[in-house]
Structures are given as C-alpha cells and as structure tokens.
Structure 1
C-alpha cells in the first residue's frame, strides 16, 4: 500500500484515461507537425525534428541519453565509443540548428564522462558561453572511486553574443551568517522575521537543487528526471514570456511543465508513450498549482529553507 504522502506519478498505460492519451500527438499519425505548439509528441526525435518549422525556437533544452547503459521504459540505450557518441550528438545538432532563431540559446545536459565527449562537438557548432555544474545529491557511493554527485549543463548560443539573459530573474536568496552594517544600516542584505538574507548574483555552480522524491508532486517514475527548479533557472534566464521552447528528449515532461508554469510556449518529443502520458497528466494539472519548489517571490532559495519561505510570504501578505 502506498503512503498517502507519496505523490509519485507512475501509473501504467492501462491505468491512463482515454481522454489523456488522446491529447498526446502520435507522430506516426500526424501529416503536418509544423504548426504544433504546447503539445507532447510521441515519436522518434530524429524523425520528428525534420518536420518542424525552421527558425522558431527561442530556447532548446537538450537532455539526451548520457553515454551509459540505461533502460528507459523497456528501451535500452547502449553505451557507445566516444567517436560513436560524438556522431550521435552531431546528428541531433544537424536537425536542431535549422529550427533555432538567430538569437536562440541551447542548454545541453550531461554527466562528467559524457561531457568530455560532448565538448568538442558543441564547440564546433555553437558558441559556448559557460558550463554549469549542479549538485545532484542522490547517487550510489563507490568503494574504489569518488561518488558521482555532480552533473554538467552546457550553456550555448546560436549566434555568439546575441542572446537573452535575464540575470535579475535568477538571483539566489542566501542566508547571511555575519550581517555587516554601515552606520547602523544593513549593507546589501535585508533583515526579516524569517532571518537575514541577501539576493546574490547567479553563478555556474548550483548547490540549491533538490532531486524530486516521493512526497513531491512533481516526482515521477522516470529514472533520470530533472527537477523543475533546475529548469526554471534556465527558462527564466534564457527566455521571455511567450517564447517557444523545444525539448526533443522530453522524458516525463519536467521542462514542458515548467515552461507552462512560467508562461512560455513549448513542444516536447518523447519516444516512450508511457513517459508522454505522465507528461500530459502533469500538464493537465498545471493550472491547479503553478508553484515551483524552491522558487518564491521571484528568487531561488537555498535547500532546506521552506519554513523561512513560508514565514516571509505570510509576512509580505499581511
């Protein structure tokens, strides 16, 4: 029996309603994919991208299978040689590039080993603006190596220096341990009933991300699900309301749900019908709750500060 607090979305296709499944676009049955928006497409990304409209994408979120042996809903991704994985990467890049607007941004997710293979291919095709490292605190330890608890996100642009970056929308609120005052006035921090805080400029090391777990409404049965908070940072920084976001490896739809919550248009492509169903279920419930864990009052909070967030919100609303 599942605990009442367990909110994990992991129903089977047999348990999915016909109405929910009918909302998913089946690529094999669709003659024209060019006008689709705010949809989940069930199909092979390498085929679907060929039917999309050129120069429409403002932001691409690319979370391809890492170069590891991994099973996804009965589909197995087999580890390749470095040369083979670079060829695989170039294939989706060749399909993606015509879809990008001239000022588009691209974010590519990878583990440390996959990053080594990716870097030269990404550099040949885009302008590398930065490499973000985020702390993925889950994972198994090792008796003969360091535990893998970090992953990379490559921040790329299609046309050099012409791109969107909304730095004021992605500041992080950090607790001030030793508050400094000048002439009795707080300097670069604010005192609240919930504690002392400073809104800091975002860096390329993200240590404030919680991996979705069983009591979080965003949690699904997908083996490599990305947190909405992680995606919200990218979407807020590198797009504007009304922009179009493409995710050709959409998984259980975290990027699509986050885009919808932040008033962006989106299109997701996913090979697994089950993952598409989970994504569509989540999209159907966006209007019920548009909150994003760890993002309150227009800033991103550190982990384990939920009580302070709630206290400060009550103070501001009173």
Structure 2
C-alpha cells in the first residue's frame, strides 16, 4: 500500500499505509524520536488486519524490516523507543542491540488486567529504549521527576528519577481518553496519554520531530501537540486515522506543566 497523506498541518502529518512502504515521505536522518507500538503477534483484531504471523520467524523478519526503515530516518543523536510483549519482544533484542545503543528495558506496570485461572495474571508490558549514538543524545529528567517518598541527604528536592518500573494504569473502557464507537472500545491497545507524555518529555526538546509508525488512534500525535513537539504518524487502518485526526484537531498546546499524575 503506497502511503497516502491524510492530514497535513504546519507541525503534524498523518499518512495512511504501511511503514514498509515508507521511502521519500520522510527525509533520512530527520527524526528526533521514533516511538513504536507495533503489533505484538498476539492475535488481536485491528479492524483490517490481525497481529498474528504464521511463524515466529516471520514476525521477527517483519520486525527487522520496519526497524531497518525507521533507523534510516532517525537523526544521529535520535532515540528509538518500542513497546513490546515480554515474550515476543525478547526475540528482537539481539537485532536491536546490533543496530542501536541499549539504554533501558522499562516495565510498564498496571494494576488491572484480564482474570486468569490457569496462570498468574499478566500485569505489564515492556518498553525498549535505545539511542542511535552512545554519547550524543537528548535526555532530560527534570520534567518527569516523581514525588519523593522520603527525603535523604542526597535527594533532589525537585523529585526523584522515576526509574525503570512505571506504574501507569491502562485505559479502562470508561476512561475519558478511551476512543469509542457506539460505546464500544474502538482500538484494542490504545495507550494512555500519561505514558506518551513521560517518554516525549524525557527524550525530546520543544519542536523536536516524533515519528510513530503505528499511530493507531493518534495518542502520540496528541501528546506531541500538547507538549509543543512536531509529529508524523503512519497508520494502516483508515478508520483509526479518522479518529486520530479528530483528536488532533481538538487538542491544544498546553503552556502549563503537567502534574506528576498526568505524566
């Protein structure tokens, strides 16, 4: 599917199509941050596609193809952050290690999930954080510090580093952020704005360009507009794009800083 531009404003663009067909639409070495929330190979239904490959090798090979494409678009001092399933994403780590500089494996922990009777309930996803260059990058902890639990003589009075375990609730069906259609969940894996705000604030500056190759219903674009960043989104499902465009149009830049509960 050839990429087709569906939305174009001064700072935000959205394309319909597959990341595998990304060629001339984005200049090489022009992106400050790639945030990717790709299919996890779990068999979820995403409207016009299902995230299940015939074999694990097929899934890994497909992942390598899109990772190779986004690497060419990333600036030399850019960052790459990818959501993943704890099991399947592990197969991608050796390739990621060969292409980027490893920084963190962050645990995205939530307190609710689907009930389980035959095994322990699943309560987390992983966030793989890499940089294109081990010495040249942007990282600013100041805007994402968390409140101090107790004060020690070496504590920063502005707050502490949130660490690599983030307890951020998933979006429930009745969340104000949740995109719905006829009161039903519209996207099976919509991520909370709080999660994207933290990632974007820590790894980019104002006016940085953020690429999301699996945009879904547009959470990354919305967070970028709130925070004064530019965004490029790619999504294969046109119905998701329509929702993303509506969300983006309704979003405004926030001059005031977000509280810890919001990022």
Equivalent residue for 1:58?
A: 32
Equivalent residue for 1:267?
A: 232
Structure 1 or 2, whichever has the larger Rg, is 1
What SS does structure 2 have at the residue aligned with 1:75? Answer: coil
Higher alpha-carbon deviation: 146-155 or 215-224: 215-224
Residue 211 of structure 1 deviates from its aligned partner by 1.7
Asked if structure 1 preserves the Cα contact closer than 8 Å seen for 2:4 and 2:15, the reply is no
What SS does structure 1 have at the residue aligned with 2:96? Answer: helix
Residue 27 of structure 1 deviates from its aligned partner by 2.8
Residue 104 of structure 1 deviates from its aligned partner by 0.2
What SS does structure 1 have at the residue aligned with 2:135? Answer: coil
1:210 aligns with 2:169: yes
* Shift in alpha-carbon separation, 1:180–1:251, aligned structure 2, 3 A: closer
1:231 aligns with 2:196: yes
* Shift in alpha-carbon separation, 1:87–1:188, aligned structure 2, 3 A: closer
* Shift in alpha-carbon separation, 1:123–1:281, aligned structure 2, 3 A: same
Equivalent residue for 1:11?
A: none
Which of the numbers 141, 145, 151 marks the counterpart of 2:125? 151
Which of the numbers 113, 118, 138 marks the counterpart of 1:139? 113
State how far apart, in whole Å, the 2-side matches of 1:139 and 1:49 are.
Answer: 38
Give the gaps of 5 or more residues in structure 1.
1-25, 191-197, 304-318
Equivalent residue for 2:50?
A: 76
RMSD: 2.9
In the alignment of these two chains, the number of paired residues is 256
Asked if structure 1 preserves the Cα contact closer than 8 Å seen for 2:110 and 2:169, the reply is yes
Asked if structure 2 preserves the Cα contact closer than 8 Å seen for 1:251 and 1:279, the reply is yes
Which of the numbers 140, 146, 160 marks the counterpart of 1:200? 160
What SS does structure 1 have at the residue aligned with 2:104? Answer: strand
| TM-score normalised according to structure 1 size | 0.73
